[in-house]
Chain A
Amino acid sequence: MTSDFSSSNSNLWQPNRQASKRVQFAVKTVFAIFALVSVATTIGIVLTLVFETFEFFREVSLWHFLTDTKWTPLFSSAQFGIFVLISATLMTSGIAILVALPLGLLAAICLSEYATAKTRAIIKPILEILAGVPTVVYGYFALLFVTPLLQTFIPVQGFNALSAGLVLGIMITPLVASLSEDAIYSVPQSLRDGSYALGATKRETIVSVILPAALSGIVSSVILAISRAIGETMIVTLAAGQNPRLGLNPLVPVMTMTAFIVQVSLGDTPAGSLAYKTIYAVGMTLFLITLALNIFSFWFVRRFREKYD
């Protein structure tokens, strides 16, 4: 059709369709490659971790990795009990969630149910500032403000899991608050009205109607926060110390998985050495734990999401 048209009116303006289509194809291809960079990143992470971890387990048996009770990879009589590091990570993250769950959930309830639109508009940006503070600043705060403060009334050492955990909790509170608030806010008004009509007070409505309805969102926000706490590095490196120690005493220095990776990275570790492979084995453990948490959260949301239409 077009060719007929152009042959009889050759001096009419013709759009250069072929060129436009070629540009379109080129742009689409390039942008598809850009989008695949994210897939390549995932593959790169998995391959790197798997390869170096495999190399690690050629020198250290999985049995020792899981059952040793000491973590001394840089000593001549090296021991590789990963649970020493995991126990420290679980302790700091556990303390963090003890802080962040009540604080974040109550803040979310307040923002969604009690605060007026105007107050919300002021408080939410403040929480966003809290979420945007670099973690090294929280590390400074934990080591040089919270620890000395704690030392005035409990016998904590200069490095300890307690102050690291407390500050870690403050760091993840905005995450719990903002994601839980989204979940609570999206519970339909009709549920609240129904509860009020039955004579329930506001608190009774929140505790027995709204929170159960928003449960899947709240749980996923908490799991996301735990996984953030487990992967956090600077706070625990600065405030919790560098002493690998099995146990759950929060008053003494411990070493988390991330703190170990930093300790090795700060030294000059030649590629191919056992220490170099060890940080990848620890990284793999960390990756698997956070991945399991993310998958669990994904599953929980799909399984327990309440749908209102």
Chain B
Amino acid sequence: MTTQTPLTDAKSSDFQVNLSGRYKIDTIFAIATWSAIAISILVLVTLLLSVLIEGFPRLSWSFLTNFPSRKPEEAGLLSALAGTIWMMVTITAIAFPLGVGAGIYLEEFAKDSWLGRVIEININNLAGVPSIIYGLLGLQVFVRFMEPLTGGRSIISGALTLALLILPIIIVSTRESLRAIPDSLRQAGFALGATEWQVISRQVLPIAFPGILTGTILALSRAIGETAPLITIGALTFISFLPENLQSPFTVLPIQVYNWVSRPQQEFHVNSAAGIIVLMVVLLMMNGTAVLLRNKFQKQRG
């Protein structure tokens, strides 16, 4: 403390406030941050426009109703579109009950228990596993070990693989929706003599349901856009028939797009752009439904 230089020391005049210079750097910094936002948006717009310009003229009714073909002008999306719808339904049937049930267990029954904490850490770790690793799991377990049941490289094998992939997302969003319900509601139920499950099924779940549904749809749209795990389990890329049951071989929109992009001919690239438009429209419809549900839900509570 005694060594502190007095303010009147001659050296203090060396200190330059230089406000105008500092403000100049401030302005440059602010511009840099806004540019980062601008660049991100610009890239998004470029991406969407390049796809639209290339693919929009190719869109037609026959593009949606034709099977894939070696001739680019005759090739269509029918089997991929059907496969995607089959996958959507099957994944929902598997992942929705599993994810919501697990979410209810972790949030309502096993909160702060030893088992609950282990499962929670495990779910956090699973979220960091690359999707292609799930493909390797699916290839070994669903395609090979369970072949008599699943029929090998089939819809059910693909759906099980993707269901495991999005399970953590559904569990987390279920828990968040349940956490948002005030405890007073549960206590009122208990005070009337209801069991935990009666309170959950009759009081808590109906209110949390729109939120859970929103989370599930968003998770599902992630699954619909996935390509790598399905390629790994060996989903075929050239399918010129419609799936008949869960054990049928299949293809989906992203795999069809991948197949067309990876061909050298320019005509197939146009097809892939048109395929991307269809895929993005499907995803947009799903996300739009999720946003509508969320808004409706927020209004009801407000």
Contacts and interface: CB of A to CB of B under 8 A. Distances in A.
A258 to B, nearest CB: 5
Contact of A32 (B110, B171, B193): B110
A143 interface: yes
A280 B225 CA distance: 24
Contacts of A49: 133, 136
B133 A287 contact: yes
B254 A136 contact: yes
Nearest to A293: B128
Given A107-B33, A271-B144, A134 B197 contact: no
A89 to B, nearest CB: 11
Nearest to B49: A145
Contact of A258 (B51, B130, B198): B130
B118 A48 contact: no
A38 B126 contact: yes
B101 A280 contact: no
B85 interface: no
Contacts of A113: 33
B101 A30 contact: yes
B125 A294 contact: yes
Contacts of A234: 227-228, 254, 258
Contact of A201 (B23, B132, B228, B231): B23
A258 B132 contact: yes
B195 to A, nearest CB: 5
B132 A261 contact: yes
A201 B26 contact: yes
Interface in A203-259: 203-204, 206-207, 224, 227-228, 230-234, 238, 258
B258 A238 contact: yes
Contacts of A102: 36
A309 to B, nearest CB: 22
Interface in B63-84: none
Contacts of A41: 126, 137, 164, 167
Contact of A23 (B40, B125, B197, B221): B197
A37 B102 contact: yes
Contacts of A109: 33
Contact of B131 (A37, A44, A137, A233): A233
A141 B168 contact: no
* Chain B interface mostly: helix
A283 interface: yes
A35 B97 contact: no
A39 B276 contact: no
Interface residues of B, number: 86
Contacts of B98: 34, 37
7 contacts: A20-B197, A32-B110, A38-B119, A123-B41, A134-B283, A136-B225, A287-B133
Interface of B: 22-23, 25-26, 29-30, 32-37, 39-41, 43-44, 46-47, 50-51, 54, 97-99, 101-102, 104-106, 109-110, 115, 118-119, 122-123, 125-126, 128-137, 139-141, 144, 164, 167-168, 171, 193, 195-198, 221-222, 225-228, 231-234, 237, 254, 257-258, 261-262, 269, 272-273, 276, 279-280, 283, 287
Interface of A: 15, 20-21, 23-24, 27-28, 30-32, 34-39, 41-42, 44-45, 48-49, 52, 102-107, 109-111, 113-115, 123, 126-127, 129-130, 132-141, 143-145, 170, 173-174, 177, 201-204, 206-207, 224, 227-228, 230-234, 238, 258, 261-262, 265-266, 271, 279-280, 283, 286-287, 290-291, 293-294
Given A31-B101, A129-B44, 15 more contacts: A21-B195, A27-B197, A35-B105, A45-B136, A107-B40, A109-B33, A110-B36, A137-B276, A144-B269, A227-B130, A231-B129, A231-B131, A231-B133, A232-B130, A279-B232
Those 9 A-B pairs whose CB atoms lie nearest each other, nearest first: A231-B130, A134-B225, A106-B36, A110-B33, A233-B228, A31-B105, A34-B101, A35-B102, A31-B101
